[in-house]
């Protein structure tokens, strides 16, 4: 009986020793598995940011001129083509002046004849051979002939079509050999130094947009955002779309050209958003993530979805909430499961 008790006691002691050894080894393993790193830290908070209403439009010249002839005739010379830069006063088109020259020569001949008649009648009036009535008629004919010469001379000068402004040729409707007529467009000129973005705004936001407001103009093809100013708000909606035309003036930039697609961001209020510095993110294969501390101070890798950019910060629309603590710049390099000692606490 005593022998059995001794064996039982020995077995219990061995089991306890093995259990204690197992626990000690497990604790040592867990201690070795949790690595520690020092890292920058920040607790994110909701902030007030501008709320924007974004709409699309296109860049256009604020000053477009349609060039047409002031006299009829066939186009003899065309000195420009689309894309050419022109100066005010530069000859663009020359129209065959044959008819205008003939009209001018005829007017000069009529003037010469009217002048001779007037001189002859004035001499006869001085001699008492005729009455003053004939002299008056001769004087009237002379005045009309003088006016006709001036008009014919103007018509002859119209054979040269000149540019009224500095600009760029953007459209050519007629070519050499075509018949030009008064009022029929030949060319179109735009001023590249006077640009605007024309866009349409829905009735829900038109009351929040005013002349003089600053607008963010983003041109996707340039990957740039420019500052614009609301120049005109048309206070009558389009009959079909029920939207309002808004024109935003742009400063001259060598990279901006009429016809470019643009997006206009109108500031219409404020809202709360989560913002983080752009340099705290991890970006891999188009996905964005940050390391977030859990309740035990352990770093966890968390995917986030980004929104608008605000200077050096970016908005997080999903993946973070106010009160979360994010960490970055770990030493050694941050990894999921690391214990973090915060170097700072923002």
Q: Would the pTM count as exceeding 0.85?
A: no
- Which residues lie below 8 Å from residue 239, measured CB to CB, with a gap of 6+? none
Average pLDDT over residues 194-205: 91
pLDDT digits (tens, 9 = 90+) for 234-279: 989 888 989 999 999 988 888 888 888 999 999 888 888 888 888 8
- Residue 183 has what DSSP assignment? T
The pLDDT assigned to 266 comes to 92
Q: In b/e form, how buried is each residue of 35-71, taking b as 16+ CB within 10 angstroms?
A: eebebbbbebeeeebeebbebebebbbbbbeebbbeb
Average pLDDT over residues 320-328: 86
Count of domains observed in the chain: 2
User: What percent of the chain is helix, strand and coil (3-state, nearest 5)?
Assistant: 25, 45, 30
Scanning the chain, the segments in alpha helix (DSSP H) are 2-33, 98-126, 132-157
Mark which of 155, 190, 225 sits at the end of a domain. 190
pLDDT digits (tens, 9 = 90+) for 13-64: 544 454 444 444 444 334 445 788 888 888 888 888 888 889 999 998 888 8
Question: Does residue 7 belong to any structural domain of this protein?
Answer: no
Q: Is the pLDDT of residue 120 over 70?
A: yes
CA distances to 111, 179, 230, 258 from 254, rounded to whole Å, are 55, 37, 21, 11
Question: Does residue 179 belong to any structural domain of this protein?
Answer: yes
| One domain for residues 144 and 259 | no
What domain range includes position 173?
Answer: 67-190
| One domain for residues 75 and 183 | yes
pLDDT digits (tens, 9 = 90+) for 125-148: 787 778 788 888 888 988 998 998
The pLDDT assigned to 8 comes to 53
Output the domain CATH number for residue 126: 2.40.50.100
Ranges 21-25, 71-75, 165-169, 216-220: which has the least confidence: 21-25
Question: What one-character-per-residue DSSP string does 317-333 give?
Answer: EES--TT-EEEEEEES-
Question: Does residue 27 belong to any structural domain of this protein?
Answer: no
Highest mean pLDDT among 17-26, 226-235, 306-315: 226-235
| One domain for residues 175 and 107 | yes
Bin 317: left if φ > 0, else alpha if -120 < ψ < 50, else beta: alpha
Of residues 343 and 139, which shows the higher confidence score? Answer: 139
């Amino acid at each position: 009986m005593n022998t059995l008790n001794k064996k039982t006691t020995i077995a219990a002691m061995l089991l306890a020793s093995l259990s204690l050894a197992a626990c000690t080894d497990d604790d040592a393993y867990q201690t070795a598995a949790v690595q520690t790193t020092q890292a920058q830290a920040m607790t994110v908070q909701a902030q007030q940011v501008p709320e924007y209403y974004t709409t699309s439009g296109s860049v256009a010249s604020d000053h477009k001129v349609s060039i047409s002839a002031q006299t009829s005739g066939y186009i003899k010379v065309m000195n420009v083509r689309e894309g050419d830069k022109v100066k005010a006063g530069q000859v663009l088109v020359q129209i065959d002046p044959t008819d205008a020259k003939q009209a001018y020569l005829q007017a000069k001949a009529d003037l010469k004849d009217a002048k001779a008649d007037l001189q002859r009648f004035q001499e006869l009036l001085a001699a008492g051979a005729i009455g003053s009535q004939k002299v008056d008629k001769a004087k009237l004919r002379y005045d009309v002939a003088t006016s006709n010469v001036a008009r014919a001379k103007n018509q002859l000068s119209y054979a040269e079509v000149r540019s009224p402004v500095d600009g760029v040729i953007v459209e050519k409707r007629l070519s050499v050999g075509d018949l030009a007529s008064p009022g029929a467009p030949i060319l179109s000129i735009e001023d590249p130094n006077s640009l605007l973005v024309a866009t349409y705004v829905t009735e829900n936001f038109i009351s929040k947009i005013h002349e003089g407001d600053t607008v963010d103009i983003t041109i996707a093809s340039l990957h740039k955002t420019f500052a614009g100013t609301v120049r005109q708000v048309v206070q009558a909606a389009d009959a079909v779309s029920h939207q309002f035309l808004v024109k935003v003036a742009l400063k001259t930039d060598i990279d901006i050209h009429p016809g470019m697609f643009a997006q206009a961001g109108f500031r219409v209020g404020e809202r709360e958003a989560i913002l983080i510095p752009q340099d705290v993110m991890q970006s891999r294969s188009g996905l964005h993530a940050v390391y977030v501390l859990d309740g035990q101070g352990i770093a966890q890798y968390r995917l986030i979805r980004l929104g608008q950019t605000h200077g050096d910060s970016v908005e997080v629309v999903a993946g973070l909430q106010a009160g979360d603590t994010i960490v970055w710049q770990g030493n050694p390099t941050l990894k999921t499961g690391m214990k973090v000692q915060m170097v700072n606490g923002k």
